[in-house]
């Protein structure tokens, strides 16, 4: 418990009272001012927050765009490399298959094409030869017709064999 002492200096007490009164009044004044200007301060803070949010959002979108383009580039590189590896694998498979078929004696596609061209060429030559031999054919056809028209009744079996074509 606080003991009450007689204060020999009454001016000191008055000074402290006045100082406490001024502090109290300054607090009340600050409270009143904050109440009056609180709406304005609040609106100012909201505007500053909105501005900061926009800046932050724009920076985040920019970073996301950069990351997206990086990932797209990496994905493109990976796709390209995978395609190259696939082409190499396909080439190796084709080479090995061709070698195995060659060992088995199966002709290559090129060899088959060459043979087809040669057959077509030979077919043309045969057709030309048939056209050239066409006038000689009627005489040969008459001879074979005459042979088959001759009677074979009175001839020997060996003669029959010679007479038939």
Per-residue buried b or exposed e for 53-92, using 16+ beta carbons within 10 Å of the residue's own CB: eeeeeeeeeeeeeeeeeeeeeeeeeeeeeeeeeeeeeeee
- Write the pLDDT tens digit of every residue in 108-133: 888 899 999 999 999 999 999 999 88
For residue 30, tell me if it sits in a domain. Answer: yes
The number of C-alpha atoms within 13 Å of 3 and in the hemisphere containing its C-beta is 2
pLDDT at 6 over 50: yes
Note whether residue 46 is domain-resident.
yes
Residue 43 lies in a domain: yes
In-domain check, residue 95: yes
- Measured CA to CA, the distance from residue 25 to residue 60 in angstroms comes to 48
Q: Does the pTM exceed 0.75?
A: no
In a domain, 59, yes or no: yes
- Per the structure block, which two tokens stand in for 64? 């996301």
For the chain, the domain total comes to: 1
Does residue 155 belong to any structural domain of this protein? Answer: no
Structural domain range at position 24: 12-106
Residue 125 tokens read as: 């030559």
CA distance 126 to 110: 24
157 is a domain residue? no
Model confidence pLDDT, tens digit, residues 33-65? 877 777 777 788 888 889 989 999 999 888 888
58, part of any domain = yes
């Amino acid at each position: 418990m606080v003991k009450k002492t007689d204060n020999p200096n009454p001016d000191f007490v008055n000074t402290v009272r006045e100082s406490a009164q001024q502090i109290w009044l300054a607090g009340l004044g600050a409270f009143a001012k904050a109440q009056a200007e609180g709406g304005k301060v609040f609106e100012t803070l909201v505007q500053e927050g909105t501005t900061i949010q926009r800046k932050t959002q724009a920076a985040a979108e920019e970073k996301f765009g950069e990351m997206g383009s990086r990932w797209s580039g990496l994905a493109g590189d990976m796709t390209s490399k995978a395609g190259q590896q696939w082409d190499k694998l396909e080439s190796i498979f084709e080479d090995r298959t061709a070698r195995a078929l060659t060992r088995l004696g199966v002709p290559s596609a090129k060899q088959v094409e060459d043979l087809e061209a040669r057959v077509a060429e030979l077919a043309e030559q045969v057709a030309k030869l048939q056209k050239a031999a066409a006038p000689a054919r009627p005489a040969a056809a008459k001879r074979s017709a005459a042979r088959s028209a001759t009677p074979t009744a009175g001839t020997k079996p060996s003669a029959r064999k010679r007479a038939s074509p």
